Structure 1
Amino acid sequence: MRYLPLSDADRSAMLETIGVAHVDDLFRDVPQEARLDGPIAKLPSHATELEVERHLSALARKNVPAGEVPFFLGCGAYKHPVPASVDHLIQRGEFLTAYTPYQPEIAQGTLQVLFEFQSQVARLMGCEVANASMYDGSTACWEAIGMARRITRKSKTLISSGLHPHYVSVCNTMAKFTGDTLETAVPTLTTETDIDDLIGRIDDETSAVVVQYPDILGRVADLSGLAQAAQAKGALLIAVVTEPVALGLLKSPGEMGADIVVGEGQSIGVGLNFGGPYVGLFACREKHIRQMPGRIAGETIDADGRRGFVLTLSTREQHIRREKATSNICTNAGLCALAFSIHMTLLGEKGLRQLAELNHARAVELSQRLAAIPGVELVNDLFFNEFTLKLPVEARPAVHRMVEKNVLGGVSLGRLYPGEAALANGLVVAVTETATDKDMDALVEALTEAVK
């Protein structure tokens, strides 16, 4: 993008046109105490490119290279190897020709991939239909709550204590502007989930119940009874899946009666990448398709009878009146959706199931070894590739002590739930196929030392 400098006269004319006297007036909604009164004191006024590069390189060397040390982090972002063919294929011309597929005649590659992506997500989630992706799992979760409100005409949502706190935070932020009432709590370090509690709290004012599967502690629960209880009161069950690889082994939420299934697709085809970009998954029952946010690519035939693809449904605010739109999602995560679909195609059903079995087996093996450390207790014995430990010491300092030994040993619940003393000793450990025997040996040794 070019830099086009403006003269003082140009700036004055622009300010006059919009009716303000000074550029500072444009920031009047920012509290005075939040504004800087001058340059940032700790930053130099200028530096050469070489100086900046050296400084940033020195800062980078302070980090523990996640790809070079034993890695057991999870909690919604998982380390799985992505085949090199994925990166090669997403750069092919048929996928790069159109930013967004408004003109089907020049975007058949993009449209076909979105169609296949939808088919894969729908089957994975156990639902009839899926959209062409969303920003990420947390925003997909909020969009599901909004969708349930439109369907049920009610605005109270029960959120399981097992839902990722970052997802809860996003939903709380959005609910400030919609009038939705969200009821939730923090999890407890027990084997049992809060499914029974949620069932008991559903009433005639409930719009939806949101539950994560597996939940933030890695616990796996049967959602069938919760789905029946919600639907009996005219509410919807929204299931959130942050680790789609789990569905290669576990029964899908849709099969257990969930009305809407959303999640994060990062672990298939998309690297961790310093926190993004990610790709939101969204699927639901066919009867709710008109209220599903985002857009849907559909299959058709052209004038010569040849198979083709088009945007079938796109009820976003750009396409219809704003007050009638199902969401304000202004684009999708098309590139990440493409990577997801290619990786899923390379795996196939058999490959996904084998990958899931390997993840689970490695997690079971490591959980047993870690639970044998004096003072360490395994909270949940039913899990996929992620489980929670209760340490005899606070988990957050223990994590830092393990980092000093170049082991990324898990995510402390104290980090996710600051100020919650009952969770301070909780450590969530994720094990994927990337964990070697040597990596697990290193974690056992590091954690043994960290809890002394």
Structure 2
Amino acid sequence: MRYLPLTPAERSEMLTVIGAATIDDLFADVPAEARLPGPVPGLPNHASEMAVERHMSALAAQNLSAGTAPFFLGAGAYRHHIPASVDHLIQRGEFLTAYTPYQPEIAQGTLQVLFEFQTQVARLFGTEVANASMYDGSTACWEAVAMAGRITRRRKVVLCGGLHPHYGATIETMAKFTGDQIERQVPVLTAEPDHGALIAAIDGETSCVVVQYPDILGRIPDLPAIAAAAQAHGALLIAVVTEPVALGLIEAPGKLGADIVVGEGQSLSVGLQFGGPYLGLFGCREKFVRQMPGRLCGQTVDADGRRGFVLTLSTREQHIRREKATSNICTNAGLCALAFSIHMTLLGGEGLARLARVNHDRARQTAEALSAVGGVEVLNSAFVNEFTVLLRRDAREVVRELADYGVLGGVSLGRLYPDRPELGHALLVTATETTTDQDIHALAAILGEVLANAHEGSPT
């Protein structure tokens, strides 16, 4: 039975009150070409539950999943080992059912977990304060840009060329509604990032500079130099970390001059999961805390002097301030934050450093193997667990052919930047602690075969 909570008359009355002629008017911001005129083509109007299960299982069987093939994909979503204890603990009833505390002080366990999570993120990022999590890295990045605008009262935003294009696209989408002027650069295929153009773009009208660390090509930007240039013009530096494991090996961005640090926490126990849910991380200087989006849990003592936890800041959220809210964030990714916090607790500081070194060693071995393949050039002079190689063929075609051989060989820059043909031969390769010697050998051998076959068959 269909669930129809409103009658046609009630719908008509609601549309009249808000000044819309039809329901379609409510979707005016969605481009017409993105809207379907009717039901999805090719799908039956109805099917039995068993038929749907069989059909979906058949579709799923066509996937080449991360755990069944040599896997070298990254670009903001990483495959790491998730300890079995993490999954066991997050499924305990007291954690699994505590989504987000709207009557916070009665959920002391949830508040304590979030308090510990905030402490871990602040130490990881090198910031004085961190919030209780956000939706994902890209929306956290936008929230940082909006926060910088409130602090500086400026509207110009400079995005470095090494920022993940999906993060840049999220910022541009949201800026349509705020009037922020986005100056977005594109990556240049050099061994080390050239910050000359980025620094030259900073002026007295600049609200913030957004820099990914490491960047989309796996390179390590010079954050202190960029921070000094931003500070000279009264702008803020926002550092974006898409791979938090890297911070076990390189210095925390907050200690290098970043005013706000945001990132994606998926690497640590959230899993790939075909794109979500993920986990947004957010830290900043303490003097900016009242402009920070999301929630902040604090520690105190009760009337009897016992340790307790409270929701210290949440007045920016929609559930309290509604249309006056300065943030789109109205909850926290509680279960994902819990998984992240458990994994970080199991690792500890020394464990995270060891994990980062293993990742780097695996990536270095992969880079050495690929550099010996004809038609492959390793671009980076420095990297953690992600680097870029230049191929003599279009990387998108190579990725597809590698997949036909059962190898997920990397992310083509041409797919991330379809309008930048000069990036078409670049391939982003990632290795983690899950990468084996056999995986590296398979990638190098099959990539060599793919490139050699194409070379032999090409007219010269």
Shared fold per TM-score greater than 0.5 = yes
Letter in structure 2 aligned against 1:286: E
- How far apart are 1:14 and its partner, in Å? 1.3
For the pair 1:359 / 2:359, whether they are aligned, the reply is yes
Distance 1:5 1:203 in 2: 55
- How far apart are 1:186 and its partner, in Å? 1.5
Q: Which moved more, 1:96-105 or 1:268-277?
A: 96-105
- How far apart are 1:241 and its partner, in Å? 0.2
- How far apart are 1:30 and its partner, in Å? 4.7
SS in 1 for 2:313: strand
For the pair 1:215 / 2:215, whether they are aligned, the reply is yes
Partner of 2:456: none
TM-score under structure 1 normalisation? Answer: 0.94
Letter in structure 1 aligned against 2:87: D
Letter in structure 1 aligned against 2:282: F
**Unaligned stretches of 5+ residues in structure 2:** 453-460
1:254-265 aligned at under 5 Å gives the runs 254-265=254-265
Partner of 2:446: 446
Distance 1:321 1:59 in 2: 44
Partner of 2:315: 315
For the Cα contact (< 8 Å) 2:79–2:267, is it kept in 1?
yes
Distance 1:44 1:81 in 2: 40
For the Cα contact (< 8 Å) 1:223–1:256, is it kept in 2?
yes
- How far apart are 1:33 and its partner, in Å? 6.8
- How far apart are 1:55 and its partner, in Å? 1.8
For the Cα contact (< 8 Å) 1:211–1:240, is it kept in 2?
yes
Letter in structure 2 aligned against 1:285: R
Distance 1:434 1:34 in 2: 38
SS in 1 for 2:81: coil
SS in 1 for 2:268: coil
Partner of 2:14: 18
For the Cα contact (< 8 Å) 1:387–1:430, is it kept in 2?
yes
For the Cα contact (< 8 Å) 1:97–1:106, is it kept in 2?
no
Letter in structure 2 aligned against 1:310: V
For the Cα contact (< 8 Å) 1:396–1:424, is it kept in 2?
yes
For the Cα contact (< 8 Å) 1:102–1:311, is it kept in 2?
no
Distance 2:3 2:130 in 1: 43
Instruction: Render the CA deviation track for 1:247-284: whole Å, top value 9, x for unaligned.
Output: 00101111111000000000011110110000000000
1:263-282 aligned at under 5 Å gives the runs 263-282=263-282
Distance 1:60 1:409 in 2: 20
Instruction: Render the CA deviation track for 1:333-363: whole Å, top value 9, x for unaligned.
Output: 1110010000000001111000000000111
Letter in structure 1 aligned against 2:317: E
Aligned in 2, Cα 1:16/1:190: closer, same or farther, shift over 3 Å? closer
Instruction: Render the CA deviation track for 1:126-163: whole Å, top value 9, x for unaligned.
Output: 11000000000000100000010011111101100000
Partner of 2:58: 58
Distance 2:27 2:248 in 1: 48
SS in 1 for 2:157: strand
Distance 2:183 2:42 in 1: 43
Letter in structure 2 aligned against 1:26: I
- How far apart are 1:197 and its partner, in Å? 2.1
Aligned in 2, Cα 1:402/1:19: closer, same or farther, shift over 3 Å? closer
1:24-63 aligned at under 5 Å gives the runs 25-30=22-27, 36-63=36-63
**Unaligned stretches of 5+ residues in structure 1:** none
1:145-294 aligned at under 5 Å gives the runs 145-294=145-294
Partner of 1:409: 409
Instruction: Render the CA deviation track for 1:16-52: whole Å, top value 9, x for unaligned.
Output: 532569x992123557776655544422233222222
Letter in structure 2 aligned against 1:344: M
Distance 1:333 1:209 in 2: 26
For the pair 1:384 / 2:380, whether they are aligned, the reply is no
For the Cα contact (< 8 Å) 1:263–1:281, is it kept in 2?
yes
- How far apart are 1:84 and its partner, in Å? 1.0
Percent of counterpart pairs with the same letter? Answer: 65
For the Cα contact (< 8 Å) 1:249–1:356, is it kept in 2?
yes
Distance 1:347 1:300 in 2: 27
Letter in structure 1 aligned against 2:44: P
For the Cα contact (< 8 Å) 1:135–1:279, is it kept in 2?
yes
RMSD of aligned Cα (Å): 2.0
SS in 2 for 1:451: helix
Letter in structure 1 aligned against 2:373: I
SS in 2 for 1:326: coil
For the Cα contact (< 8 Å) 2:105–2:311, is it kept in 1?
no
Q: Which moved more, 1:162-171 or 1:191-200?
A: 191-200
For the Cα contact (< 8 Å) 1:97–1:107, is it kept in 2?
no
For the Cα contact (< 8 Å) 1:156–1:182, is it kept in 2?
yes
Aligned in 2, Cα 1:376/1:307: closer, same or farther, shift over 3 Å? same
Distance 2:224 2:56 in 1: 52
- How far apart are 1:222 and its partner, in Å? 2.3
Letter in structure 2 aligned against 1:364: R
Aligned in 2, Cα 1:237/1:307: closer, same or farther, shift over 3 Å? same
Letter in structure 2 aligned against 1:17: E
Distance 2:432 2:37 in 1: 49
Partner of 1:102: 102
Letter in structure 1 aligned against 2:219: R
SS in 2 for 1:438: helix
TM-score under structure 2 normalisation? Answer: 0.93
Distance 2:199 2:8 in 1: 62
Letter in structure 2 aligned against 1:440: I
Aligned in 2, Cα 1:249/1:45: closer, same or farther, shift over 3 Å? same
Aligned in 2, Cα 1:37/1:179: closer, same or farther, shift over 3 Å? closer
For the Cα contact (< 8 Å) 1:293–1:315, is it kept in 2?
no
For the Cα contact (< 8 Å) 1:86–1:339, is it kept in 2?
yes
Letter in structure 1 aligned against 2:423: L
Letter in structure 1 aligned against 2:127: C
For the Cα contact (< 8 Å) 2:15–2:21, is it kept in 1?
no
Distance 1:196 1:25 in 2: 51
Letter in structure 1 aligned against 2:14: I
Distance 2:194 2:162 in 1: 8
SS in 1 for 2:7: helix
Aligned in 2, Cα 1:12/1:417: closer, same or farther, shift over 3 Å? closer
- How far apart are 1:66 and its partner, in Å? 2.1
Aligned in 2, Cα 1:297/1:231: closer, same or farther, shift over 3 Å? same
Letter in structure 2 aligned against 1:182: I
For the Cα contact (< 8 Å) 1:260–1:285, is it kept in 2?
yes
SS in 2 for 1:240: strand
Distance 1:33 1:81 in 2: 41
